[in-house]
Structures are given as C-alpha cells and as structure tokens.
A and B are shown apart, each in its own frame.
Chain A
Amino acid sequence: MSAFHTVIDLVYVAAASCFILGLHLMNNPATARRGNQVSTAGMAAAVAATLALIADSGAISVTGWIVMAAGALVGASAGLYSARTVQMTAMPQLVSVFNAVGGGAAALVGIHDYMTLADAGRGVPGSITVTTLLDVIIGAVTFSGSIIAAGKLQGLITSAPVTFPGARVVNLMLAAVALGACGYLITTPSLPGLAIVIVAALAFGVSMVMPIGGADMPVVISLLNAFTGTAVAMAGFVIGNWALIIAGALVGASGGILTKLMADAMNRSIGNIIVGGFGTGDSAAAVLPGAGAGVRAIEADDAAIQLAYASKVVIVPGYGLAAAQAQHAVAELADLLESRGVEVSYAIHPVAGRMPGHMNVLLAEANVPYPQLKEMDEINPEFSRTDVALVIGANDVTNPAARRPGTAISGMPILDVDQAKSIIVIKRSMGHGYAGIDNELYANPKTSMYFADAKKALAGLTSAVKTLVG
C-alpha cells in the first residue's frame, strides 16, 4: 500500500471516529449541536479524501467527473431546500425521504458493482455475491418502503392499513422469488437474475409498509432507519470501505434501539406491528361532545381559575396538539402561568408525536426550555403532587385501563395523569384514540372536559387567565 493510500485510509478512520464522537455528544442537549458539527466535519473529510483518491487513480473519464458533479449538485440542492423549508410537524416524512434516498444509493452501489464484475466475464466470487445481494435487497426494500411511509405520513396515501385477502401469501411469494433468484445468482452470475431480485425487493417494500396504520409510523420509521444503516454497511462490504461499514453499523444500531423503545412504549412486538394490527390510522370515529356517561364539561373561565391558582401544573401534550398547530399557544399559556409563580412542566410520553422524540422538537420550536420537558419515568411520581394536569390532544397514553388486563392497551406504559388532584382535558369530542376504546380517565370525578379545538382552547384559557386574575 502506497503512502498516499495509507493517508486516505487514515482519513476514513478519522471520519468514522468523528461520527462516533458526534453521536456521543448527542447525549446532552447542551453539547448536541457540537456533536452535529463534529459529525459534519468527519463527513466533509471523507468526501474530500474520496475526491483525492479518484483524482489520483486517474481512471475516471471526463464524463465521469461531470456526471458525478452534476448528480451531487442536484442532490445537494434538493436536500438543502427541503431541510431549510420543512415544517417541524413534517419531520417524520423528511426523515423517511432521506432513508429512501440513502437506501436507494446503497442499492445502486451494489447493483453497479455486480454489473461491472459480471461484465468482466471472470465470474463473481461467492462472498461478493452474498454481500452484494444483501446490499441490493435491503437497500431496495428500504427505498420503496420509505417512500410509502412518507406518502402515508404526508397524507398522499391513505394512512389506514391497506390489506387485501391473500396479502400474506403475496408477501411470502415475493420473498420466495427473491431468495430463489439469490440462490441462482450465487452459482451463476446473471443480470436478469439480479433484475428479478431488485423488482421483488421493491415490491416487498411496498407490500410491507402498506398494511401498517398511521399510528404505528414511529416504529416503522425507526425500523427503516435501521434498514438503511444496514444497507450502507453492506455497500461498505461490497466496495471494501471501512468508513461505510462503521457508519452503517452505527445507524443500524441506533435504528434498532429506537425501534425497540417505540415498540415497548406501545406494548407491542415489532413483529406484531409489521404483520399489521390495530393501528387504524387517524380517522377515529367521531362521537358527539357530551356522549358517554358521567362526563363533566367545563368552560374556559373555570378552567382558567383552576390553572391560575394552582401551584403545580403538568401539561400532557399529544399529537392532537401538533395537528392543531397549538405548540406556540401552549407555550404562551405556560409562560403566563409561570409568571404568576405556577410551577409548569410537560409530561412527554415516548410515543407522543409521529416519530421518537417528535413532541420535544415541536415544543422546542415554540421556545419551551428543554429542562421543563419530563420523560415518563421522571414525571410519573410527580403527578400525586400536581394540582392540575392539563391533557391536550393525548388519549390512549393517559388511559388507566392499561393497568388492568383484558383491554386493547393492557400493559402499555401510561402517564399516571389520574393521580393528579384535578385533571382538565382539552379535546374536540369524545372520539376514541387509535386503540378504539373509551378512556376511563374522562369519567373520573376529578376530570373536567373542555370540548374545543386545542389552539382556540389554549388562546381562550390564556385570555381568561389574563382578564380574570390579571
């Protein structure tokens, strides 16, 4: 190995170290920004080293340079534009799109490598075939699956689970076709065989995500993130590049951990979610306000007085808050209460929002300081000392029925909202959450229901607090 190549390899090692250090610095909001900068620097170094390597090899044609530069320019512009303009509520779609393009690029690296080797006519070694096929299959499944997931989140494709009779048989057949083609390819290099694998994998990605409901999307996105990482690591095996292997494995691990956390917080196994189940999407049946026995309604003035004279208020935000674009309204109310000496914190359930940690980002955007955001384990013991728990657009994660066996959500970890001295629930109607069951919290004698759109309700509360207790 020449001195030049040694230097290039050392740069790759340094880049991989930057990625690990960058992720390590993410363990604290105070250092996280620096982590992102370190990681960016590593990436820039890796790309610069690759450019030097390509220039030094002298094997690249002028067309090659132009194609590479044009592609990178187009992609970079698209990435920059979408990253600058995306709404924070649309983050899950964007992450999903980035998963798709990352997985797609990894698959293309494998496809091209295989084509080059097969063209050369010397045969393709078995070990390379295996990693290439893994790269192509995982990458293609991620590509089509992530596009479907993004479409569902954006509302371009119905978020309800789409199934048809025999869907499972079709899935099994696709898997069988892909595996059969793989078996053939290991003994005989064949481009049509590779095409069959690609098509089957793309179709499998679609049929895997279509039956999954909107409520399960946090898990799906995490899982596809893990897939992308694994595909990139496989691409690293194919081209023999350690930087890709290390970076891909890191992402695979992070996606795996987040998938597990999300599935646990929903009390479901990953397999159960993939096979499809009760994640019936956003269209919970609307029931008229006031339906349901023993529910007490409340108006803005009464609620405002309860909040204003409390000494400790815990706000429980759910996705309904983000859907109503009410993050800023809730932050304004919290500021007002704090200025009156009320202790305000937020209880964040692990699956609040559309991806892991989504609610935290939405509240951070509304200038809520992060020390006020409490995780479930941290806030649950505090509910018994809480005067008012204000539940906004959260449903199943507050349902005490989860503590009893025999319900659809039994065993799911919940926020112990019912331990608070009093509870105010802001909700548009008595409609059900994703689990499709009654929330026993609403019938609790300590609970008052404030039927309104979250944003209007919060603005109403803020002005009522100002006028009544100024």
Chain B
Amino acid sequence: MKNICFYFQVHQPLRLKRYRFFDIGQDHYYYDDFQTEDRLKTLVEQVYLPANRTIAEMIRSSNGKFRCAFSISGIALEQLEQHAPEVIDSFKELSKTGCIEFLAEPYAHSLSSIFDESEFIRQVNMHADKIDGLFGKRPTSFFNAELIYSDEIGELVSKMGYKTMMVDEAKHVLGWKSPNFVYTHSYIPKLKLLVRNHKLSDDLAFRFSNRSWSDFPLTAEKFIDWIVKTPDDEKVINLGMGYEVFGLIQQTYTGIFEFLKALPYHAMEHHVNFMLPSELSKKYEPAGALSVTYPMCWVGNDKDLTPWTGNDLQQEALTKLYAVGERVRLCSDKPLLHDWLMLQSSDHFRYMSHKDPYGTNYETAYDAFMNYMNVLADFLDRVDAQYPTTIDNEELNELLKTINQQEIEIETLENEIKKLKSKKDKLANGK
C-alpha cells in the first residue's frame, strides 16, 4: 500500500518600488503596490482559484480520499486578504472538508531560521496564530521557507512543539538511502522528517509539458504506475512543489488540471492512498535518522544556501538587516514592525544572486542589491530614530523593564489609594 503526500508552497513577496538614494529619509513607503497587485491577480486567476477548484473536485470525486497540505506564508495571506479575499474563502471551503492540512513556516518566508533564532520563533508563532485565526486550525507540521533544514533548525522546530518536518532529497545527506521512507532528526527521535521525492516532484513541476523529455507525455495512469513500481518496503512518496506549478509553470493548455483530476481514480485502482504529513508521521515507523550539519534547501544542484547567501552582496545585506533584529523587536511602531517582516522575505536576497535570481523583476543582481540597500538604509534610520544605536541593547532592555515595572507599581498603588479612599468614605458615612 503506497501513500502519496502532496504539499504545496504558496508565497509571493511584496515587491519593492524603484527607490533611489535621495529618497532615503524622505519616503518611508517602500512597496510597488501596482506590481504586487498585478502579479497577485495573475496568480489568483491562473493558479489559486482554478487549482483550488480542481482540488475541491478531486476531494469530492474521491469521497474524501484525496488529501494534501498547504504552506501559505504570512505575506501571501496578507496580500490575499487585501486583494483577493475570495481565495481565502476558497481555502476555508477546502479546510472544511477536513482533507487539507496547513503547514507552519516563518511568517515572512524568511531566512530567520539561519540568522536570528528569536526572530524565527516569533515569526513561526505569528504564522501559526494567523492560520488559526483564519482557518481554525493550528499547524502541527513544519515546512520551513525554501525547505531549509539543518539539525539545529530541526531542534528549534521540535522545541516549539512540531512533530513533523518536511525536508528535501539532497544527495549529500541521503547518500544511497531512498526518500520514500519516514526518517527522524539526527538526535531528536520524536521529530519525524518527510523527505521530498525530488525526481517525481520535479517531473511533475518542471518536465510535465516538455516535449523533449523522454517520458513525455505524463499521464495520471503512468505516474501512479511509477509509484506502484517502487520497491515494496517504500511506502511514502512525498511530492512538494510551489503552487504556481498548477496554472503558471505548467499552464492550463498542458493539461495539468486534467492530470490532477484523473489522479484519484488511478490511485484508487492501484490501492495508492493520499495522506497528510501529520498522518504519515504517525502511521509509519522511521527507517533511520538523518544527520544534516550544514543547512540544505530545495533549490539548485548543490541544495545549499548559496542562492541566498553565496555572494558578497547577499552577505552584506543579510548582515546589515539582522544586526538590528533585537532592537526592532523592542519597538512598538506598527509600520516599522510590518516593514521589518516584509524586508526579510528570502526573495529579496535571491534577486541578488548573479547566477540564479528566480522570479526577479530586476535587470541585474547589482540593481537588486542597490535598490534593497537604499530601502534598508531608510529603514535603519527609522529604527535608529526609535532607539538610537548608541545605546546598547542590554541597557535599553533594562531601562524598558524598569519603566514597565514602575508602571505596574504605579497602577497597584493607585488601586490601593482608591480602596483606602472608599474605606475612608464608608467609615465617614458610617459615622
């Protein structure tokens, strides 16, 4: 009995507008609303609505046997709430069927898991709160942004109470092991790891409509057949991809939606089940532990962090950004806190890559760097204005604590005074 675990990433960053150095200090709004909304509309019309409808139909036609999971970033949720609430409604409908699961990720789809632990924890909680608020469910499984994973990150995630985490199939980690088993964290056995089947996922995501691919055309029957033909003891096939595969990377004319609709039927014919990540990790015993000392992800051939941190430009930007993390968390200015989240999305740094800037709207990596750094300069000025960097973080913290403490004391004393006054009044009246 084979099990397919489908999971989809839904994310779009807030695009920055053209921000020149003379705007620094003058203009505190960094976003290109037109571009963001435009791109979102395309995604909504070509991907989110049609794909959600298809999945709803698949759930109906299979009587609830079809299941899948979604990881929707906080930034994407905000954009959908603002520009396309019908998509949120569509997800709510899907959620009601009980056949989909929402996965947790850092709110801003950020690299905070690598650079700023406290920020990471904060963002994960923010995200879980948001998902709970919208859909009434708190996630129990984790899909870190860009499937970034390491033993350290796994430890953090487990401490926050998550039981399952998605990781990618990286040759240097798995070696000869097959991805089609459940694994555990290197030294925390209760954290289960589900390894994405890289060949099958990419076959569907990228090669589906490629006429020169040796396996073109890929039908649902053929795909299920491949799954059935995997060795008997391999029970778990994890297929993870960006949700844009359905309608944008593979456009409607390629027949991708028809492929999806036919999947449940062929799966049932061959006793192949669909499972949610949380169900899978409970059902099967792990086949071993995976040791990942250096962070890995799902991009590129090396599957390491070079697409976001590989060159000097990216290092500089990330260092400058995360240097003020602690200070920003002490602020209470809402726009500042919101900008702090938006500026952290991993995409900004991806666009600074010379080799592989997926999804960029900039002409060159230098262009991306210059624009981002100008925006960051203005942002850092604002943080400084709130809490000048001349004061040490610790000192600041202490001062704030004292102030808060004193506020509480004052409140308590005021209450006492009230009580005593009323006693006095009572006694005076009683006389």
- Do A and B interact with each other, yes or no? no
Instruction: Give the B-binding residues of A (Cβ under 8 A).
Output: none
Instruction: Give the A-binding residues of B (Cβ under 8 A).
Output: none
